[in-house]
């Protein structure tokens, strides 16, 4: 696993590559880290074992998605947002744009934290306190990017997100080892285009970019 200091440097490098301002992004991430630790005691936002690896295990892992996102193409719709990963990190990354992030989370206590950190950092976020299966997208809202981190298997994910999957939508799904088995299992009911990108955090993890999703 990459060190915390190296993770910070990698985020700064990604900012430069995407012409994003580290002067606003890094302080916001630092504040987010502080609030995650402070609220963790009562909200159980992330695994306790990973609190010492917030920048490497969580922030860099989330931030790397930014280079695959066009902030001018619809909203980001994040399923199972939990403590805000990757959604809050991406909202911080694109804070200076008009990109809006919608977070879907069924745990009301975690929703309280998501609303708190969004207000605290002045992020363009809307938090939906609802189960993903029951979520109804507001009218006239186009989904450009769908994200989910450690949420569910591909077949279940496709069932949930299909109603919100537009013609040009892209789902960026972070997966660990065994993802190829999920792909194979999904092919019987779904057709789609897929691009696979290696994670900068863990050698056995990938980002799956799904487009053209259709049910067979």
Binding site for S-adenosyl-L-methionine: which residues?
A: 80, 85, 132-133, 149
Give the span between the Cα atoms of 148 and 171, in whole angstroms: 8
Note whether 186 and 158 are within 8 A (CB).
yes
Which structure tokens are listed for 74?
Answer: 């619809």
**What pairs with residue 76 in β-bridges?**
101, 145
Give the span between the Cα atoms of 108 and 56, in whole angstroms: 27
Cβ neighbours, 10 Å, residue 14: 19
Which residue is listed with tokens 């805000």? 84
Which structure tokens are listed for 15?
Answer: 């900012």
Binding site: which residues?
A: 80, 85, 132-133, 149
């Amino acid at each position: 696993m990459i060190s915390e200091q190296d993770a910070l440097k990698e985020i700064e490098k990604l900012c430069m590559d995407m012409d994003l301002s580290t002067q606003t992004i890094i302080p916001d991430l630092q504040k987010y880290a502080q609030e995650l630790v402070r609220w963790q005691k009562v909200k159980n936002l992330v695994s306790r074992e990973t609190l010492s690896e917030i920048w490497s295990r969580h922030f860099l892992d989330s931030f790397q998605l930014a280079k695959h996102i066009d902030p001018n193409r619809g909203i980001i719709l994040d399923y199972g947002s939990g403590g805000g990963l990757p959604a809050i990190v991406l909202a911080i990354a694109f804070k200076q744009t008009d990109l809006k992030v919608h977070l879907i989370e069924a745990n009301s206590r975690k929703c309280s934290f998501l609303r708190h950190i969004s207000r605290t950092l002045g992020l363009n976020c809307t938090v939906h306190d609802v189960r993903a299966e029951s979520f109804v997208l507001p009218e006239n809202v186009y989904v450009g990017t769908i994200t989910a981190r450690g949420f569910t298997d591909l077949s279940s994910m496709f069932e949930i997100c299909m109603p919100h999957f537009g013609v040009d939508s892209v789902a960026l799904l972070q997966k660990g080892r065994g993802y190829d088995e999920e792909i194979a299992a999904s092919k019987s009911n779904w057709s789609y285009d897929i691009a696979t990108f290696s994670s900068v955090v863990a050698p056995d993890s990938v980002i799956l970019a799904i487009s053209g999703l259709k049910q067979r």
